[in-house]
Amino acid sequence: MIKIAVDAMGGDHAPQAIVEGALAAVQTYSDIEILLYGDQDQIQDLLPEGDYPIEIVHCSEKIAGDDEPVRAIRRKKDASMVVAAKAVKKGQADAMVSAGNTGALLAAGTLLVGRIKGIDRPALLGTLPNLRESGESFVLVDMGANADAKAKQLWENALMGNQYAKDVLGKSQPRVGLLNNGSEDTKGNKVTKEAFGLLSQEEQIHFIGNVESRDILAGACDVVVSDGFTGNAVLKAIEGTAKEILTLVSHSLKSGNLKTKLGALLIKNSLKETLGQFDIESVGGATLFGVKAPVIKCHGNASAKTVAATIGQARQIVKSGTYDSLAQQIANKESQAED
DSSP string, 25-57: HHHH-TTEEEEEEE-HHHHHHHSPSS--SEEEE
My answer on whether 137 and 273 are in the same domain is yes
Q: Which residues contact 254 (CB under 8 A, 6 or more apart)?
A: none
Please report the beta strands in 151-248, taking only residues with DSSP state E, as ranges in sequence order. Answer: 175-179, 206-211, 223-225
Residue 259 has pLDDT above 80, yes or no: no
Residues 131 and 265 both lie in one domain: yes
Same domain, 26 and 42: yes
Q: What is the CATH number of the domain that holds 108?
A: 3.40.718.10
Are 198 and 268 found together in one domain? yes
Question: What are the φ and ψ backbone dihedral angles of 206, each rounded to 5 degrees?
Answer: -100, 85
Domain membership of residue 60 as a residue range: 1-119+290-339
Q: What percent of the chain has pLDDT over 90?
A: 72
Q: Whole-angstrom Cα distance, residue 94 to residue 293?
A: 7
pTM for the whole thing?
A: 0.89
Structure confidence by residue, pLDDT tens digits, 195-238: 999 999 999 999 999 999 999 998 999 999 999 999 999 988 88
Judgement on whether residues 233 and 132 belong to the same structural domain of the protein: yes
Do 294 and 205 lie in one domain? The reply is: no
Task: Assess whether 189 and 229 both reside in one domain.
Answer: yes
185 and 90, same structural domain?
A: no
Instruction: Please indicate, yes or no, whether residues 84 and 150 belong to a single structural domain of this protein.
Output: no
135: pLDDT strictly greater than 80? no
Q: Is 163:206 a contact under the CB 8 Å cutoff? A: no
At 145 the pLDDT is 92
52 and 71 both lie in a single domain: yes
